Amino acid sequence: MDNVLEIVEKENIGKIEQNVSLIKYTTYKVGGTARAIVYPRNVNCLIDLIKLCRENNIKYKILGNGSNLLFSSKPYDGILIKLDEFNKLKFSGPNKIVVGAGYSLIKLCLVACKKSLAGLEFAAGIPGCVGGAVYMNAGAYKSDMGYVVQSVKVLTPDLKIINLTNKEMNFHYRTSFLQTHPGYICLEVTLKLHKGKKEAIEEVIKERRQRRISSQPLEYPSAGSVFRNPEGMFAGQMIEELGLKGMRKGGAMVSEKHANFIINYDHATGEEIKELIEYVRDQVKEKYNVEMKVEQEFVNWE
């Protein structure tokens, strides 16, 4: 690992952080220590970094804002790659935005609002980056990224840069082509929005922000909704009907405000959160015979 990091530094591939606690890089505020986080300066640097990792048999993972990940407490003995430098934004024509994968989704929503562009209001409270939102097909209020993404520039597993259309991205409820094709990396996104009235867009954003504050436990670390809603059902409602609000495993707790949130209530570990997720999933399976799909990705549990 040390020789690879020396090359990264020597060739100015990107900023390096070593032996960092992942508590600072995940919204659950859990995780072990990462051997290294690297911030590639551009696409060519990203490609060089991936080649170095592969040649030296070092595991690596793209890390966005950590808002949908659950890390174990074990050390991550590899390189986490953050695309924070992929943060350029430009307007293309009257209603299109071309934006880098590392750009904040909430910030993007506000920028669109300032330009009187509507369609992204649903994203005003989603604390991820654009790349992660596309990967997850993040959404709320009966809308998601699939409604506004026109095309996505990706890096393929064989390190070629290609563009995928909206149709090729295969957006569906909380999933996309990127989830089902590991190794593809979102680099840049073209969004197609529509003209609206700035005051009306601001009002929708304000109203939804207030609704989130009143209905979600935003005062505690979490990763948003834990389970996807089964077809025709609501995960939170099923969990609540089972009387699991307030259920705890160590410092992890099923939120008393919203049953589909598991919160880091009191210095929880990743292991405690995972144990609670699995307990809730098993209880729902036993009661309703429904297999709940976890929205979060478990990292470094092997």
224 three-class SS: coil
Evaluate if residue 142 carries a pLDDT over 90: no
The predicted structure's pLDDT at residue 78: 97
Identify the pLDDT of residue 141: 85
- Give per-residue pLDDT as tens, 250-265: 999 999 999 999 999 9
Residue 32 — pLDDT band, cuts 50, 70, 90? Answer: very high
Q: Which amino acid is at 41?
A: R
What is the C-alpha to C-alpha distance for residues 221 and 218, in angstroms, rounded to an integer?
7
Rounded CA gap, 119 and 125, in Å?
Answer: 14
Minimum mean pLDDT among 33-42, 69-78, 202-211: which range?
202-211
How many CB atoms sit inside 10 A of residue 77's CB? 14
Q: How confident is the model at residue 201 (pLDDT cuts 50, 70, 90)?
A: very high
Catalytic residues: 174, 225, 295
Rounded percentage of the chain residues whose pLDDT exceeds 90: 93
Mean local confidence (pLDDT), 152-157: 98
pLDDT of residue 59: 96
pLDDT band for position 203 (50/70/90)? very high
Across residues 23-37, what is the average pLDDT? Answer: 97
Asked if the model's pLDDT at residue 181 lies above 90, the reply is: yes
Whether 14 has a pLDDT exceeding 90, the answer reads yes
Q: What is the mean pLDDT of residues 46-68?
A: 96
- Largest distance between two CA atoms of the chain: 58
pLDDT of 209 reads: 87
Mean pLDDT to the nearest integer, 78-107? 96
Q: Which domains does the chain have, with CATH numbers?
A: 2-81 (3.30.43.10), 89-214 (3.30.465.10), 217-299 (3.90.78.10)
pLDDT of 10 reads 97
Q: Is the pLDDT of residue 218 over 90?
A: yes
Is residue 31 classed as helix, strand or coil in its secondary structure? coil
pLDDT digits 0-9 by tens, 96-125: 999 999 999 999 999 999 999 999 999 988
CA 222 to chain CA centroid, nearest Å: 12
Residue 151: beta bridge partners?
165, 190
The tokens of 118 are what? 């509507």
**What is the separation of C-alpha 171 from the centre of its chain, rounded to a whole number of angstroms?**
15
Residue 228 burial (10 A CB sphere; 0-12, 13-18, 19+): middle
DSSP H helix total and E strand total for the chain: 9, 18
Contacts of 278 (CB under 8 A, 6+ apart): none
CA gap 112, 89 in Å, rounded: 11
Q: What is the mean pLDDT of residues 116-136?
A: 93
Q: pLDDT > 70: what percent of the chain?
A: 100
Q: pTM for this structure? A: 0.93
pLDDT at position 125: 86
Q: Please tell me the distance from the alpha carbon of residue 123 to that of residue 105, in angstroms, as a whole number.
A: 7
Q: What is the mean pLDDT of the chain?
A: 96
The pLDDT of residue 96: 97
Mean pLDDT value across residues 9-22: 97
3-state secondary structure 232-259: CCCHHHHHHHCCCCCCEECCEEECCCCC
Q: How many CB atoms lie within 10 A of CB 71?
A: 27
